[in-house]
Amino acid sequence: MRPASSGVKLTSDDFLLFPEDGKRHELIDGEHYVSASPATKHQRIAGNLYWLIRSHLEVHAVGTVMLSPFDVVLSFFDVVVPDLIYFSHERGRQILPATLATGAPELVVEIGSPSTRDRDETIKRRLYERCGVSEYWVVDPKFETAEAQPQCCRILITWHR
């Protein structure tokens, strides 16, 4: 979902003024995007992926995984709220203050929905690539697949229904 554009390019300072209304507010190239709260299947997938990655990190303590909502400031005109993000300890020390990330995570995971699928697969993909995200996964709950970038491969993900 996207409100009508006024032609004004918004900034990360404007982002801080958005209401805390339970919706996901994001800025991409200064455009304000609003998405509804995630559905049940979306939340289950996010929780399962978080659990899998977090379990791996318990054994191999190489980084941190964060579950949405967590703001990621990629530039003055780009603030996103991915479903999951991963930072190595090294990168995390550089860009993870207490309230939001100010730089690109190594891994970004977006779980698609009918209202966000096109944005996730086009403008967000280009944004993450441009800002230095090492790997980007787009999970499609409808088809139970995930597309991983930069490898450009499709992998089958199974999750508890």
Q: What distances in angstroms separate CA 72 from CA 14, 55, 63, 78, 148, one per listed residue?
A: 14, 23, 17, 8, 20
Q: Token pair of 11, please?
A: 């900034």
Domain boundaries, the chain: 12-156
Q: What is the largest CA-CA distance in the chain?
A: 49
Per-residue pLDDT, 39: 84
- Domain covering 12-156 assigned CATH 3.40.50.300 in the classification: no
Per-residue pLDDT, 118: 84
Stretches in the chain below the pLDDT threshold 50: 1-2, 4, 151-161
Per-residue pLDDT, 149: 56
Which residues have a Cβ under 8 Å from the Cβ of 107 and sit 6 or more positions away? 84, 85, 86, 133, 134, 135, 136, 137
User: Which among 136, 15, 125 has a CA at the least distance from the CA of 75?
Assistant: 15
Per-residue pLDDT, 121: 85
